Amino acid sequence: SSNESAVDIAHVYRGTFVHSTDHTAVEILEDRLLGVDTEGKVYSICMEWSAYPCEGRRLVHFVVCSEFFMPGMVDTHIHASQYSYAGTALDLPLLQWLNTYTFPVEACYKDLEFARNVYTHVVKRTLRNGTTTACYFATIHTDASLLLGQIANDFGQRALVGKVCMDTNNFVPHYRETPEESHDETNRFISEMLKKKYPLVRPVVTPRFALSCSAALLGHLGEIAQNNHLHIQSHISETKEEVKLVKELFPDYDSYTDVYHKHNLLTDKTVMAHGCHLTDEELKLFREKGASVAHCPNSNISLCSGMLDARRVLNHKVKLGLGTDVAGGYSPSMLDAVRRTLDTSKALTIQDPQYQTLTFEEVFRLATLGGSQALSLDEHTGNFQVGKDFDALRVNPRGPKLLRSLGVVKSQVCSGSFFSPSLFPLPPSGDDRNIAEVYVAGKRVVPFVERP
């Protein structure tokens, strides 16, 4: 059942652990013992392994030269429903792209078998690529959205799942709800999802964006989120054209951010995707409310939407995570999001040599701890702090022969028997072949256990 304990016996992992803390972008803990209890939580991480009480616990050694554990990555924004066409249809700007490709595809999720097929693929693909936590958009269909939650639960992925809400769509009229439907179905989605008592999957209130929601609907959704203390996700200030249209559609509001704010949709459990064109005033409001931004660099470039100045967001002390934004972004891999984040920061540096480029270490933190904070899940995941769930990747930077050089940034893979302290082992050009195992809440979820 979904409620069984993560593992039936406490495990102790011996190996090198690499993670981020609030104080250090990358901390490398060489040859440690990390204890995971039967609830899947980290209960200790210590050095003195010879004196360690291992009785009654399964000791697992990973001291293979160059291997290490890192926290599972957090995809703060991904459209599970758009996975079916990822890597295609990137030739139009956002609003035309939505009308031409996205809405007609999303309408297909009325068909539960279609949904089951795509959702199974996306959950497996993201897990295999090291996404231990995903914040998903599904579609307007309640039953298919519930199915996505079930599939994430079955494969053991930590997930926030949103049934998309949209009551204005003039281009594909059959892919739209009435405000009442949207409101009622959101309530049904939430109550049915909560009834399942999935340990790692939660519902998230999901107005698609201001351009596809009436003010009445936004108000209802804000109320639902507030009454049930739920997460909220949406899109904001992705393109200049969108910002301009929001201004026309909501002339009485101070800003795009204010539209969400005035409908109680800007809270400390809100994550807004993109934010490329947010003003300083808007970022201040984000900071004040504790809302976060999901940086989706692949999508921002692929749809020519803009370039998020992530440094500016960090300087405003606004919580920031990374998102793949499949299928505006063509890659479902968080390692790709890491690379694109660095690319965007470097493109900004090309424009302005004074720009303070994001470091590799900072981006590693955004992909892990930053993402968990952006989703207000840092109590449970994001690093190897004692008390958090063991969400981890066992990384083999060498991987198959051709990937031998991956992960070696500053030094040699091995110096003596273990890492040299100067090694920075995030695989910048690695891929799923470098991810030997994936753990969520102490349970090994990759390689997949075949289910009947």
Contact between residue 144 and residue 115 where contact means Cβ atoms under 8 Å apart: yes
> Which listed option, ligand GUN, Fe ion, none, makes contact with residue 179 (CB within 5 to 8 Å by class)?
none
Residue with smallest beta-carbon separation from ligand GUN: 328
> Phi, psi at residue 424, to the nearest 5°?
-115, 105
CB 105, CB 84: distance < 8 Å: yes
Least spacing, CB of residue 299 vs ligand GUN, in Å: 5
> Considering beta carbons, is residue 163 or 394 the nearer one to ligand GUN?
163
Name beta bridge partners: 179.
none
Q: What does 208 bind: Fe ion, ligand GUN, none (CB cut-off 5 to 8 Å by kind)?
A: ligand GUN
Considering only 131, 169, 299, 333, the residue that binds ligand GUN (CB under 6 A) is 299
Q: How far is CA 159 from the centre of its chain?
A: 9
In a 10 Å sphere around its CB, with 0-12 CB exposed, 13-18 middle and 19+ buried, how is residue 203 labelled?
buried
Rg (CA), the chain: 21
Q: Which residue is nearest to Fe ion (CB)?
A: 325
Residue nearer to Fe ion on the CB measure, 40 or 162: 162
Binding partner of residue 441 among Fe ion, ligand GUN, none, CB cut-off 5 to 8 Å per kind = none
CB of 92 to ligand GUN, least distance (A): 12
Minimum CB distance to ligand GUN, residue 103 (Å): 9
Q: Is there a contact between 120 and 145 (Cβ–Cβ < 8 Å)?
A: no
Distance CA(246)–CA(304), nearest Å, equals 19
218-277 residues near ligand GUN, rule: CB under 6 A: 235, 238
Distance (Å, whole) CA 94 – CA 9:
49
If binding is defined by CB under 6 A, does position 208 make contact with ligand GUN? Answer: yes
User: Least CB distance from residue 365 to ligand GUN, whole Å?
Assistant: 24
CA angle 128, 129, 131 (to 5 degrees): 95
Task: Find the shortest distance in angstroms from Cβ 96 to ligand GUN.
Answer: 12
- Identify whether 93 is preceded by a cis peptide bond (ω within 30 of 0): no
Measured from the CB atom, is 79 or 269 closer to Fe ion? Answer: 79
Give the one entry of Fe ion, ligand GUN, none that residue 443 binds, where binding means its C-beta sits below a cut-off of 5 to 8 angstroms depending on kind.
Answer: none
Closest CB to Fe ion among 75 and 177? 75
Give the β-pairing of 292-295 and 270-274: parallel
Q: Which does 102 bind (CB under 5 to 8 A by kind): Fe ion, ligand GUN, none?
A: ligand GUN
How many residues touch ligand GUN (CB under 6 A)?
11
Distances (CA, A) of 18 to 28, 233, 287, 378: 5, 30, 29, 17
**Least distance in angstroms from the C-beta of 77 to Fe ion:** 6
Instruction: Output 273 or 335, the one with its CB closest to Fe ion.
Output: 273
> What is the 8-class DSSP label of residue 418?
B
Count of Cβ atoms closer than 10 Å to residue 175 Cβ? 23
Q: Would you call 307 helix, strand, or coil by DSSP?
A: coil
The smaller minimum CB distance to Fe ion, of residues 85 and 355, is found at: 85
Q: Does 283 bind ligand GUN (CB under 6 A)?
A: no
* Residue 340 touches ligand GUN, criterion: CB under 6 A: no
Q: Is 328 in the site for ligand GUN (CB under 6 A)?
A: yes
Output the smallest distance, CB 106 to ligand GUN, in A: 8
- From CA 382, how far away is CA 392, in angstroms rounded? 9
In the bound state with ligand GUN, the residue whose beta carbon lies nearer, of 299 and 345, is 299
Nearest-angstrom CA–CA distance, 196 and 438: 24
Task: Count Cβ neighbours within 10 Å for each residue of 327-358 and write b for 16 or more, e otherwise.
Answer: bbbbbbbbbbbbbbbbebbeebeeeeeebeeb
202 part of the interface to ligand GUN, by CB under 6 A: no
- 230 touches 236 (CB < 8 A): no
Closest CA to 67 of 442, 407, 416: 407
Q: Is 136 in the site for ligand GUN (CB under 6 A)?
A: no
Q: Which of residues 64-103 bind ligand GUN (CB under 6 A)?
A: 79, 94, 98, 102
**Binding stretches for ligand GUN (CB under 6 A):** 79, 94, 98, 102, 208-209, 235, 238, 299, 325, 328
